[in-house]
Amino acid sequence: MNGPHKKRRRQTMSRPTPTGTTGADSRAGVKRGVLGAAFMATLTMVLLLGLNAEALAATCWSDAPSSWWMSSYGVTDADVAGVADGYPDGTFLPVVPVTRGQFAKMATRGLGVATADPGAPTFADVPASHLFFTYIEGAHAGGLIGGYQTGSGLRYRPQSNITRQQAMSILARYLSQLELDTTGVVHGDVIEKYGSLELWYNSEGKFWLNGYDDSAQVASDHRATTAYLVSRGVVEGSNWCLNPTATLARSQAAALVLRVKAAAADIRMPPGAPRNLDLVATGAQVNVTPTEGHLYVGNDPTPRLTGNTLPDSHMTVYDEPFFGTAHLKREKSNLAGRFYVDLDDPLRALADGTHSFTATVTNGSGLESPASEAVTYLLDTLSPTGSITSPTVPSPEEYALVHSASPPFTVVATDQGSGVESVRFQVATDRTEPDWETVFTDTAPEPGTACFAALWPAGGPGAAGLPDGRYLLRAVVTDRAGNEHTVGPMKVRVETLAAVQGTGAPTWAVATSRCRGGLTPQTIYLGRRCFPLDSRGKDTMTLAFGPSSERRPAKTGALLDAHRPAC
């Protein structure tokens, strides 16, 4: 069963499918051979319609079991028992035509329309003693029926068989009025809101009849109501036909009322909130990365929000804390219930900072769902900043002279938006087109600082460090949103074989096991020579250079390779 708008078919698409309420003719025809005996035996009881409470208590009929109702109409016999009664002999007579009086009872009881017992009968042919008097009066009071004006007064003709278009008009008046009372408008596709059923039909509703071969047979006073039920998916036709002037069988009448009942429930009840929301980037040069839960960080100012909801329904995306007062984008879900909303409205551009996206869906009755679970997005379009703090160079045109194959390489990096994610330390031979190689990626700065440092390989091909020569050093700083900033390059000259002079103490030294006795805090290897270290104080060591020595204090961490360089 489908509510308003849930199965709307554009007239540019294929013809209406040969299924649905009016499609029971072919199925009923197949059943006639089986049901013929029961039909002939009880034909004289048609007018009784089984309108007693005892018949209502039985929810299964010998000639229309629950399996038949389910296979034919997708409903159960218990559903049907809430709309129509059977006969005292336990039959339903599903293929017998239903009269106008009988259908008035089916519609009022099935849809919950109040019965009425006025002091004076409304219709000349429906006196207070009539079997269906209170149901017909209730349908008239509810605006479902009007009757025929004749020279002898207003008549309803309760004994006449009802036609399909008459039945559809009765039900469409109920459903369209419910939509107006509940939402204030009749909802359309071309224009979203209409003040009446007639305005909707004259603007776009009439096109819903174009797909049927016999649409010209629909009477003028039934065209708007018939088109309305077609647009709401209640009526779909059979073999490209509506058969508007044909009679309606009891089974078809009951199924039609149940379809309208389901559509009415959809009108009264707001839909559920959209679910499974996700945020993705919309381009190759931008990033949106999930962090944890519904938290995302990225540099895409026009991300795409996706998720699941009602099929072919209008979506609205909000950015908290503006829910209810402003929206970012309106879009429509596809026929599978997936939605893809690009937040790219230039009039509602996203600014850097934290956003909280929620989505709602509006059903065919115009009722908006509650907001979905929020998706939090930290947008950061600004690049991080940074500078190389070691080695140091007198000027950008000059080379920094280092006396270690694994020189200290440190960077101070900051980002005011999403924060620094990593620093890639890279080296290349000094030439016109450098071939950069990443020697280390640091993702954890010194606690309490913005200092990132390269730790040179302790093993493998790179353990020997850089051979003497000229190099370029640079660092690529990346923030959590994916923005990058390159620091450098810096020119460096590595000279590990330089003679040690008393007046030219090195700026960096490497402890090594090459010296006799192995690696000790008292020995340092420099320029292929081992030098003893004198310990003076807890954190200070002094280089001793033999006869022409110059003693210079240095932090222990700046001398031993096992320590992280400091900025």
Residue for token digits 């309760």? 158
The per-residue pLDDT for 500 is: 46
Encode pLDDT of 381-408 as tens digits: 999 999 999 998 877 778 999 999 999 9
- The sign of the CA dihedral 69, 251, 266, 366 is positive
Q: Reply yes or no: is the peptide bond before residue 489 cis, omega within 30 of 0.
A: yes
The per-residue pLDDT for 114 is: 97
Q: Are 218 and 210 in contact (CB under 8 A)?
A: no
Q: Are 39 and 93 in contact (CB under 8 A)?
A: yes
Closest CA to 400 of 408, 319, 335, 140: 408
Q: Which residues of 241-262 are buried (b: 16+ CB within 10 A; e: fewer)?
A: bbbbebbbbbbbbbbbbbbbbb
Q: Are 270 and 367 in contact (CB under 8 A)?
A: yes
Which residues partner with 161 through β-bridges?
99
The per-residue pLDDT for 550 is: 36
- In terms of pLDDT, which residue wins out, 531 or 431? 431
Average pLDDT over residues 515-522: 44
Span of 227-231, 237-241, 282-286, 460-464 with lowest mean pLDDT: 460-464
Q: Are 413 and 384 in contact (CB under 8 A)?
A: yes
The per-residue pLDDT for 321 is: 59
The per-residue pLDDT for 322 is: 53
The per-residue pLDDT for 366 is: 79
CA distance 165 to 171: 10
The per-residue pLDDT for 89 is: 92
- In terms of pLDDT, which residue wins out, 510 or 286? 286
Q: Are 258 and 110 in contact (CB under 8 A)?
A: yes
Banded model confidence at residue 325, pLDDT cuts 50, 70, 90: low
Instruction: Tell whether the model's pLDDT for residue 370 goes beyond 50.
Output: yes
Q: What average pLDDT is seen over the chain?
A: 80
The per-residue pLDDT for 511 is: 41
Instruction: Tell whether the model's pLDDT for residue 10 goes beyond 80.
Output: no
Report the 10 Å Cβ neighbour count for 202.
12
Beta-strand pair 304-308/314-320: unpaired
Which residues partner with 530 through β-bridges?
525
Q: Is 391 helix (H, G, I), strand (E, B) or coil?
A: coil
Enumerate residues 6+ apart whose C-beta is below 8 A from 263: 1, 2, 3, 4, 175, 232, 233, 234
CA distance 401 to 22: 92
Domains of the chain, CATH where assigned? 114-159 (no CATH), 275-379 (2.60.40.10), 383-497 (2.60.40.10), 499-567 (no CATH)
The percent of residues in the chain predicted with pLDDT above 70, rounded, is 76
Give how far Cα 398 sits from Cα of 244, 389, 428, 491, 492, Å.
Answer: 94, 16, 17, 7, 8
Instruction: Tell whether the model's pLDDT for residue 556 goes beyond 80.
Output: no
The percent of residues in the chain predicted with pLDDT above 90, rounded, is 62
CA distance 329 to 345: 7
CA distance 67 to 319: 49
Highest average pLDDT, of 24-28, 62-66, 125-129, 281-285, comes from: 125-129
The per-residue pLDDT for 478 is: 96
Q: Are 337 and 315 in contact (CB under 8 A)?
A: no
CA distance 83 to 258: 8
Encode pLDDT of 63-88 as tens digits: 999 999 999 999 999 999 999 988 89
Span of 166-170, 359-363, 486-490, 513-517 with lowest mean pLDDT: 513-517
Instruction: Tell whether the model's pLDDT for residue 238 goes beyond 60.
Output: yes
Give how far Cα 320 sits from Cα of 157, 301, 317, 455, 532, Å.
Answer: 59, 16, 10, 44, 66
CA distance 146 to 534: 114
Banded model confidence at residue 111, pLDDT cuts 50, 70, 90: very high
Banded model confidence at residue 59, pLDDT cuts 50, 70, 90: low
- The sign of the CA dihedral 125, 127, 130, 133 is positive
Q: Is 278 helix (H, G, I), strand (E, B) or coil?
A: strand
Closest CA to 6 of 337, 311, 340, 334: 311
Encode pLDDT of 411-463 as tens digits: 999 999 999 999 999 999 999 899 999 999 999 888 878 999 999 887 766 77
Closest CA to 269 of 492, 4, 563, 91: 4
Tell me the backbone φ, ψ of residue 115, rounded to 5 degrees. Answer: -75, 165
Q: Are 514 and 453 in contact (CB under 8 A)?
A: no
Encode pLDDT of 120-169 as tens digits: 999 999 999 999 999 999 999 999 999 999 999 999 999 999 999 999 99
Average pLDDT over residues 305-309: 96
Span of 342-346, 439-443, 451-455, 525-529 with lowest mean pLDDT: 525-529
CA distance 398 to 111: 90
Banded model confidence at residue 357, pLDDT cuts 50, 70, 90: very high
The per-residue pLDDT for 9 is: 37
Instruction: Tell whether the model's pLDDT for residue 318 goes beyond 70.
Output: yes
The per-residue pLDDT for 284 is: 82
Average pLDDT over residues 339-357: 92
